[in-house]
Amino acid sequence: MSQNTLESPQDLLRFQLRTAMTMEDDSLAAVTELAQAARAADIKKLFRHHADETKQQIENLRTVFGLLEIPESTAPSPSTKGISKQAKSTLARSTAKLHDQVALSAALGNEHYEISAYQALILAVGAKDAEAARLLQENLDQEVHTSEELLSRLRELAG
């Protein structure tokens, strides 16, 4: 389903939901790459845990599509692609001893984007469907928690 012009709040909701699916697919790929780039075992573990959460978030989004009776599909997410591209570029020009910091910083940027995307989706769903809003809130809560974990670990490295 491709739509060039968004004309109603429902069009915007569909588009945001489709973009969120792409965002999470991109996030899953990125977190796997960042886990490989990280050196510290606890950071690798953090990324693996977030990959598992991301898989659940994708399932939650699939359920939301169904609840809202919107055909499941994706829409471009240039922001997540850009964050991933920036991470790869920064990793390529960094020494190995900086890889943990770079990986954490890149993941933090991605989390902040995801947080704002879920906040907007929750507002767009509003009272239309309480279960859809609950699932989106669950995803948002996980993103906020992961952001806090990443920031905490970054502070330790900056120490």
Backbone angles phi, psi at 19, to 5 degrees: -65, -40
Do residues 99 and 34 make contact, with C-beta atoms less than 8 angstroms apart?
no
Check: pTM over 0.75? Answer yes or no. yes
pLDDT band at 18 (very low <50, low <70, confident <90, very high): very high
Per-residue pLDDT of 106-128, as tens digits, reads 999 999 999 999 999 999 998 88
As a CATH number, domain 9-158 is 1.20.1260.10
Q: Which of 19, 3, 10 is nearest to 113 (CA)?
A: 19
Residue 128 is predicted with a pLDDT of: 86
Q: What is the mean pLDDT of residues 68-84?
A: 93
Residue 1 is predicted with a pLDDT of: 46
Per-residue pLDDT of 21-43, as tens digits, reads 999 999 999 999 999 999 999 99
C-alpha–C-alpha distance, residues 25 and 39, integer Å: 24
Q: Which of 20, 46, 11 is nearest to 31 (CA)?
A: 46
Taken in order 25, 27, 112, 85, is the CA torsion positive or negative? Answer: negative
Q: What is the amino acid identity at position 120?
A: A
Per-residue pLDDT of 77-112, as tens digits, reads 999 999 999 999 999 999 999 999 999 999 999 999
Q: Which of 125, 155, 139 is nearest to 9 (CA)?
A: 125
Q: Which of 26, 18, 19, 96 is nearest to 54 (CA)?
A: 26
Q: What is the mean pLDDT of residues 143-156?
A: 96
Which range (1-5, 108-112, 139-143) has the least confidence? 1-5
